Structure formats: structure tokens, C-alpha cells
């Protein structure tokens, strides 16, 4: 087993959290695509899911760049003793997708998910000491902001202008 210092553990914890978030987001959007009936929402959720896969692939590349990354992450999941509370629950929102979900409600759910993703990547950037990883989290933060802005524009154009 590879000996890890505190910075290694923090960096790999951040990376592990980000990977889990992207996997959860992909699963959410895939489920949402299958659940909703309105075709434009299916397309919206499918496209957002594809973006999450791209994000995950970037994080996997970062993991591979870290020497012994796979072994380190596995050992982190089996760590013993007092675990640090990162307060991640404040970045996560449970949402249920309903088959009859309307366009406005779906946009709100997606906006909230993207907003929390922005907050999470900003937080993860601050908790890591690895410069490459900080740049990766900054890039992912910017991409999530782009997703959020796109959704907000759709909301503004399609919902607010109709009311």
C-alpha cells in the first residue's frame, strides 16, 4: 500500500467526491430522461447527462495523473478512525422527477442541480493543494456555470417572457 501524506488524502478525497457527484448527476439526468414524457425535456436531460460524462472523464484523467491514484482512492474508502466532515450535504439537493413534470418545474430542478454543482466545485477547489486539480475544479466550475446560465436563459426566454 502507498503511504499518503495529509495533502494526498485531501486531494484524493476531493477527487473522489467530485467523481461521485458526476456519477450521481449522470444517473439523475438519465433517470429524468427516462421518466419525463415531454420530448424537449427528454432532450434537455439527455444533453445534460452527456455533459456529466465529459466531466467524469476529465476527473478520471486527473486520478490517473496522481501516482497510484486508483490504489489511493480505494484505500481512502477503507480508512479508519475519525472522518472529516466536509459539510457536503449543503451542496446536494434531493429532487424527484415525475413523469408529468412540466417544463418550468424541470428547468428549476436542473438549475438547482447545476447551482449546487457550481458550489461544490468551488468548495473542492479550495480544499485541494494540487495545482492541476485546482485548475480542473476551476474548469468544471466554469462549465457548470455555463450549464446554469443556459438553463436560466431558457427559463427567461420560455417561461418569464410568456408570463
Q: 90-105: per-residue pLDDT in tens?
A: 544 546 677 777 788 8
Best CA proximity match to 17, nearest among 131, 133, 149: 133
Confidence of residue 155 (pLDDT cuts 50, 70, 90): confident
Length of the chain counted residue by residue: 163
Q: Taking residues 123-128, what's their average pLDDT?
A: 92
Best CA proximity match to 2, nearest among 66, 71, 65: 71
pLDDT of residue 82: 42
Q: Taking residues 38-54, what's their average pLDDT?
A: 92
Secondary-structure class of domain 6-80+93-160 per CATH: mainly alpha
C-alpha distance from residue 94 to each of 5, 25, 29, 42, 155 (Å): 34, 11, 13, 20, 21
pLDDT of residue 64: 83
Amino acid at each position: 500500500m502507498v503511504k499518503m501524506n495529509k495533502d494526498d488524502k485531501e486531494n484524493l478525497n476531493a477527487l473522489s467526491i467530485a467523481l461521485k457527484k458526476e456519477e450521481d448527476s449522470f444517473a439523475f439526468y438519465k433517470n429524468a430522461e427516462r421518466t419525463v414524457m415531454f420530448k424537449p425535456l427528454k432532450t434537455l436531460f439527455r444533453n445534460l447527462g452527456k455533459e456529466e460524462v465529459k466531466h467524469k472523464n476529465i476527473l478520471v484523467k486527473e486520478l490517473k495523473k496522481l501516482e497510484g491514484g486508483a490504489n489511493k482512492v480505494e484505500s481512502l474508502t477503507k480508512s479508519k478512525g475519525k472522518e472529516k466532515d466536509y459539510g457536503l450535504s449543503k451542496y446536494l439537493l434531493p429532487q424527484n422527477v415525475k413523469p408529468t413534470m412540466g417544463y418550468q418545474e424541470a428547468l428549476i430542478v436542473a438549475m438547482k442541480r447545476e447551482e449546487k454543482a457550481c458550489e461544490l466545485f468551488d468548495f473542492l477547489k479550495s480544499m485541494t493543494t494540487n495545482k492541476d486539480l485546482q485548475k480542473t475544479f476551476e474548469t468544471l466550475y466554469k462549465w457548470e456555470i455555463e450549464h446554469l446560465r443556459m438553463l436560466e436563459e431558457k427559463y427567461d426566454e420560455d417561461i418569464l417572457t410568456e408570463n
